[in-house]
Structure 1
């Protein structure tokens, strides 16, 4: 009798970066998992993330649409990072907009963003990735908006592997010394998922305790809705 009660394994429907917290969808059957995976693949799933970032985005709401590519970083410790591969740049001579030859390996990447709160030289942002490129949110925020995610030591610099440099006010509010900044975890949270399965399924996950504590210390108010 007990043998028949063994739980069936659950099927993973999508992925989160290992340092990202939040909603994960698992299905009880292989068929359901395949159906949900197809929704993710065809970009029919609405995904909402929260991130605590350094600085204040300008503008405070908008869309970042810059292709992303993986590149090798030439430094004393050679490593790979995702980075921006823009289609246009300003000509240094006359300041005119020039079209750049497209990088064949670059992937289209689109992220909507909206500021929810701002304090202590940091902001709380709501993010909606329209596409699903590796490290897309982290790259668009750090290199596109100049607002790296708190605790994102990888994308706070380009050519070096080093802990994130934090503003003095942020360090004071977090009661943290710069030398200990490397222990800060990535403050990126998958807050909500909406699956269009007949009747839309809405999943919401509260931020983890460390994220909530950081919000309180930085005096960033969580939206009530």
Structure 2
């Protein structure tokens, strides 16, 4: 089920920003599939709710991969957009993810540092232990939160924001994410999702300067439900 203006899960909104819980399968911005992007869905929601004639301004601050779910922030003014962009690029936000993996991680908690090299043709990033040409340093911290019947729930704190970073780095330690065929999981999820969820985002409000912490509940399915 994709997000529409009528079923949008809004987690926070004011005059400056709007934060939604992205469903797996939603795309943030338009792509070659021609599917309605979340950006346009949120614009429709704002236009209807606030009875706004004409074009609605909405700025994309960051992205989540199509098969993932969770917290996504959009800016409602150009001033908020500029400040949020700066915050994200300077890593002044805290991003916490949940990932469900089949294999137990090598340690209960650890910091992973890799050099990721992106292959645009394959739309995939390869994790290397040492720096290679055109690679970017990627750092994340993980800890094991829970052992499920057949899987393990990991909590990930991102220090850098690279293309497919969590998917690539977890795959490199033998912990491919449930449903993620591209990074080595053995079968796909029936809805095309992967079990990676942007759980919590903490940032400073771009205008009011107060810290806000926004949490998103994972999608409803048997495996995610077992995590609560």
TM-score normalised per structure 2:
0.70
The match for 1:149 among 162, 165, 177 is 177
CA distance in 1, matches of 2:148, 2:156: 18
Q: Describe the superposition over 1:34-81 as per-residue Cα deviations: whole angstroms up to 9, x where unpaired.
A: 100110001111000111111111201110011111248xxxxx9453
3-state SS of paired residue (1:67): strand
Deviation at 1:11, TM superposition (A): 1.9
Among 64, 73, 80, the residue aligned to 1:16: 64
Q: Which residue of 1 aligns with 2:126?
A: 83
1:215 is matched with 224
TM-score (norm 1): 0.71
Compare relative contact order (CA 8 Å, sep 6+) and give the higher one, 1 or 2: 1
Any idea what SS the aligned residue of 1:25 has? strand
Bigger mean CA offset, 33-42 vs 4-13: 4-13
Q: Assess, with a 3 A threshold, how the Cα gap between structure 1 residues 86 and 5 changes in structure 2: closer, same or farther.
A: closer
Partner-residue secondary structure (3-state), 2:223: helix
Change (3 A) 1:19 1:221: closer
Q: Any conservation in 2 of the 1:56–1:121 contact (CA below 8 Å)?
A: no
- Select the structure of larger CA radius of gyration: 1
1:186 paired residue among 184, 191, 194:
194
- How far 1:209 moved relative to its partner? 1.3
Is 1:165 the equivalent of 2:186? Answer: yes
Find the residue that maps to 1:109 and give its secondary structure: strand
Once the two structures are TM-superposed, the CA of residue 182 in structure 1 deviates from its matched residue by 5.3
Task: Kindly tell me the number of residue pairs found equivalent between the two proteins.
Answer: 174
Aligned-partner Cα distance in 1 for 2:118–2:81? 29
Q: Distance in 1 between matches of 2:212 and 2:97?
A: 17
Question: Aligned with 2:168: secondary structure?
Answer: helix
Match of 1:123 in 2: 152
- Give every structure 1 segment of 4 or more consecutive aligned residues whose post-TM-superposition deviation is greater than 6 Å: none
SS class of match (2:82): helix
Secondary structure in 1 aligned to 2:137? coil
Unaligned runs of 5+ in 1: 73-77, 88-101, 157-163, 167-180
Tell me if 1:195 matches 2:195. Answer: no
